[in-house]
Amino acid sequence: MGVLFEKDVDDEIDFDYETLLNRVVEETIRMEQCPYECEVNILITDNQGIRLLNREYRKLDVPTDVLSFPMIEYGTPGDFSHLNTKEAKNHCFNLESGALLLGDIVISLERAREQSIEYGHSLNRELAFLTAHSMFHLMGYDHMEEGEREEMERKQEQVLQRLKITRD
């Protein structure tokens, strides 16, 4: 499993966020029983950086907390069975490493800090939550309908509980 990190802001994070987010990525993959080694890219940016991406890709000229850019289309969320074809091997996997390319996660560190204060928990809990949320998007889940939202929230909370990342 590979997580590639990029941070394009000078804002310091006073804990090992890469290890934390790696653990979250690994746990979501394990929980969904993905049978492949995976690659994920995570960009830590600020409100301006995420606003520009939100405007370009979603036509929303506002900052948000996290954006997800899945590389795979799923018929059923979390179902990886359709990836066992030659076409999928050529388009969904890193040809050098053989890892499944799940996609990209972009997190606004500025917004994550704001939300950690707003919700009364730590920055590491907020970054872990945003990463879990985005990972489920990368595996085909969404929250447009009430049932989907409930399932996604349950799964996100399960990941954080398994990793003992609480609101304290």
User: For position 134, what pLDDT does the model report?
Assistant: 98
Inform me whether the pLDDT recorded for 90 exceeds 90: no
**Mean per-residue pLDDT, 45-71:** 97
Inform me whether the pLDDT recorded for 7 exceeds 90: yes
Of 125, 135, 150, the residue nearest 28 (C-alpha): 135
Lowest mean pLDDT among 33-42, 49-58, 88-97, 99-108: 88-97
Q: What is the pTM of this model?
A: 0.95
Burial of 71 (0-12, 13-18, 19+ CB in 10 A): middle
How far apart are the C-alpha atoms of 94 and 6, rounded to whole Å?
19
**Mean per-residue pLDDT, 117-135:** 97
Confidence tier at 117 by pLDDT (50, 70, 90): very high
| Element of type H or E holding 18 | helix 17-31
How far apart are the C-alpha atoms of 6 and 124, rounded to whole Å?
17
Sorted by where each begins, the domain ranges of the chain are 2-162
User: For position 150, what pLDDT does the model report?
Assistant: 95
CATH of domain 2-162: 3.40.390.30
